[in-house]
Amino acid sequence: MRKVITLGVLTLLCTVLVAGAQAGKQASVVKLKFATYVWQPTTVAANKAIVESWNKSHPGIQVEIVPVDVNSVHDKLLTSFVGGTAADVIHDEAADIAGFTQQGYLANLTPLIPKTLKRTIPNSLWQTTNFGGKITGVPALLQTYNIFANMDILKSAGIKAPTLADPWTWPEFRANAKRLTTSGRFGVCWGLRSPTAVTQTMSLNYGGQFFYLENGKWTFKFGPNDQNVVRQMHDMIHVDKSVDPAATGLSGSAVLPAFFGGKCAMTVAGNFAAQSMILQSPKGFNWAMFPLLKGRTQEQVANPQTYSISQQSTNKQAAMFFISYLVNRQNLAKLALGDWLIPANPEAGKLARKSTKRTGSWKIATESVVHFRKGNWVSLAAYPRWKAEVAQPNFVQYLRGSISLEDLGKNLEDGWKRINGR
């Protein structure tokens, strides 16, 4: 009887000890939530693989993916921030995190960012997520706006493709678009349904920033530098008549059928459209992505995808370790290849180039990193609202020819005063 009791007590003791050890082990595991809006199947798979490999190699910090709808990122993040249920690691973009930073929802990463990570990304890109000395996002992937051309049409017209060393200037682009316009074909099909991003990004070719700091306040200005690109776009549609006016009401991807069908010789789109060219163009379609257009410079505004840490997170250091892993050379190259976006780390760009057959377009895309500059509007908290309520409708009206350039400038300025003055 005594033996049975002793055995029972020993078994109980062992069970308690094992359970205690298990509980202790579980309690020491840091659990991180990672909210991400990756949506292309290739990137979703790459993202999942990266998280799985992290979880395998870091048993003490386990990451769980929380998918976010790509078209509702702001709403989803806002409710989770206000509700106190935000994920630890947040995938967003520079222009959107400005507001969240101002509202205090994002952690200051400046003291957390490892020196090695800091070195791998150009300073011009860190500037896009630096809000008054506080960095609240790690820049990851970017896009440029490029010309895509039907090379057969260009060759038959005797027009040579631009090169990285000798890119087209805006006047050359306009002249060639005009030359390529015939009775049954337009020089360019340009999807300008939402023209603000492309207009403002490319306006930096002439130094157009639209927003300038005056007496400590961000002021909207519409001077010659800011007007240049949008005026040329307008003139291509209405003066040169080299841009298909019907296509201007469509999105960038919606004009692809016309481009593939030979109804226009060129289109302007985000560099990621290269993926659609490969997957959807007719067999034998001879296309090329051209280097960035040149005004005074080839600069374009950088609005990178970012990885931030929620201020509510209780595991900020662990979250930073994970972000560093996520954007290391190999992983960033995998994510870039999935979305056809440009990695913020030029070394990751080189790796991406090596891993693909379409080296031409990847070379042009990754060589563009040096032309990225901070756009003042990227860090303005009121910018997303101004863009949605004021800029989009007014740019559309101007490009349709419904309002003059003066009216456009006045409306944009009044709208900014109304929204920012609140």
- Which residues make up the interface to other proteins (CB under 8 A)? 39-41, 44, 65-67, 69-72, 75-76, 78-79, 82-85, 191, 193-194, 250-254, 256-258, 260-261, 263, 270, 272, 276, 279-283
Sign of the Cα pseudo-torsion (22, 24, 27, 30, in order): negative
Q: Which is nearer to other proteins, 41 or 216 (CB)?
A: 41
Q: Which is nearer to other proteins, 84 or 216 (CB)?
A: 84
Q: Which is nearer to other proteins, 80 or 225 (CB)?
A: 80
Q: Which is nearer to other proteins, 43 or 366 (CB)?
A: 43
Report in angstroms how near the CB of residue 119 gets to other proteins at its nearest: 29
Residue 348 burial class via C-beta count within 10 angstroms: exposed 0-12, middle 13-18, buried 19 and up: buried
Could you tell me the two tokens for 159? 């027009």
Report in angstroms how near the CB of residue 83 gets to other proteins at its nearest: 5
In 3D space, the residue among 111, 140, 126, 101 whose CA is nearest the CA of residue 311 turns out to be 101
Q: Which is nearer to other proteins, 28 or 71 (CB)?
A: 71
> Helical H runs in 215-308?
224-238, 256-260, 273-280
In 3D space, the residue among 255, 275, 276, 281 whose CA is nearest the CA of residue 266 turns out to be 255
Give the integer Cα–Cα distance in Å for 268 and 208.
Answer: 19
Sign of the Cα pseudo-torsion (366, 368, 373, 374, in order): negative
Q: Which is nearer to other proteins, 139 or 162 (CB)?
A: 139
Q: Which is nearer to other proteins, 24 or 84 (CB)?
A: 84
Distances (CA, A) of 98 to 167, 267, 302: 33, 31, 14
Give the integer Cα–Cα distance in Å for 101 and 106.
Answer: 5
In 3D space, the residue among 144, 149, 117 whose CA is nearest the CA of residue 345 turns out to be 117
Q: Which is nearer to other proteins, 192 or 320 (CB)?
A: 192
Residue 416 burial class via C-beta count within 10 angstroms: exposed 0-12, middle 13-18, buried 19 and up: buried
* Contact yes or no for 315/294 (Cβ under 8 A): no
Report in angstroms how near the CB of residue 264 gets to other proteins at its nearest: 11
Beta strands in 196-314 (DSSP E): 211-214, 217-220, 264-270, 287-289, 300-302, 305-309
Report in angstroms how near the CB of residue 97 gets to other proteins at its nearest: 16
293 phi, psi to nearest 5 deg: -65, 155
Report in angstroms how near the CB of residue 145 gets to other proteins at its nearest: 10
Report in angstroms how near the CB of residue 65 gets to other proteins at its nearest: 8
Q: Which is nearer to other proteins, 133 or 282 (CB)?
A: 282
* Contact yes or no for 63/48 (Cβ under 8 A): no
Report in angstroms how near the CB of residue 271 gets to other proteins at its nearest: 11
Q: Which is nearer to other proteins, 273 or 412 (CB)?
A: 273
Report in angstroms how near the CB of residue 246 gets to other proteins at its nearest: 13
Report in angstroms how near the CB of residue 220 gets to other proteins at its nearest: 24
Describe the chain by its helix, strand, coil percentages, rounded to 5.
50, 20, 30
Report in angstroms how near the CB of residue 193 gets to other proteins at its nearest: 7
